[in-house]
Amino acid sequence: MLILASTSPYRRELLQRLRLPFECARPDVDEAPLRAESPAQLVRRLSLAKADAVAGRHPEAWVIGSDQVADLDGRILGKPGGRDAAVAQLTEMGGRSVRFHTAVCLRRGAHALVAVDLTQVRFRALAAAEIERYVDAEQPFDCAGSFKCEGLGISLFDAIESHDPTALVGLPLIALAGLLREAGYAVP
């Protein structure tokens, strides 16, 4: 049994690409950063915590926990939650580079495998009207960084530097496929 410890439609859609049967379960984890916790530490801790929360209810299953944190000059950017916050985030990121830390954990019982991907996104200079058109068109209020790179958000960038293009969407499939093979799954 394979369980994705997430209710994110983005992660569910990504995991479906691997063509493995799985279920989804809500992890119910407090995602607030700890004091002095770096973005890399936070994302690793949250991926483990999400997997742990669901694995405790399903000890026989392999559980996938994942999390992503946007990092602007070492400062964690949360999900905007609404239009004004999304416009403010994109305004601040215009013409700058933002790092996205994405961690994935595969856990069953005491056995945990973890991988972390780092993606750097270089935003082009963005005019206020462009930002507003984009935010109104895609409403990326539940996305770290206030964009959807798999949609119109790609037009906001000069470049994306990553080892895994799926990591920026929220689940690093290259790393996860390796973890699943290590756990005994036949992928592909």
Spell out where the chain has E strands: 2-4, 23-24, 62-72, 75-77, 97-108, 111-123, 157-161
Domain containing residue 124: 2-182
Q: Count structural domains, the chain.
A: 1
User: Measuring CA to CA, which residue among 173, 172, 177 is closest to residue 187?
Assistant: 177
Model-level pTM? 0.91
User: What CATH number does the domain containing 32 carry?
Assistant: 3.90.950.10
pLDDT score at 20: 97
Is 75 within a domain? yes
> What does the mean pLDDT of the chain come to?
95
In angstroms, the Cα distances linking 56 to 28, 113, 132 are 12, 16, 43
Q: CA 41, CA 16: separation in Å to the nearest integer? A: 28
Q: What is the pLDDT of residues 72-90, one digit of tens each?
A: 998 999 899 999 999 999 9
Is 154 within a domain? yes
User: Measuring CA to CA, which residue among 111, 128, 163, 122 is closest to residue 145?
Assistant: 122
Confidence band of 69 (pLDDT split at 50, 70, 90):
very high
CA-based R_g, the chain, Å = 17
Is 187 within a domain? no
pLDDT score at 154: 95
Of these residues, 28, 30, 52, 67, which one is catalytic? 67
Confidence band of 104 (pLDDT split at 50, 70, 90):
very high
pLDDT score at 78: 86
Stretch 106-132: mean pLDDT, rounded?
96
Examine the pLDDT at 144 and tell me if it is beyond 90. Answer: no
**3-state DSSP percent of the chain in helix, strand and coil, to 5:** 35, 25, 40
pLDDT score at 12: 97
Is 188 within a domain? no
Does the annotation mark 67 as catalytic?
yes
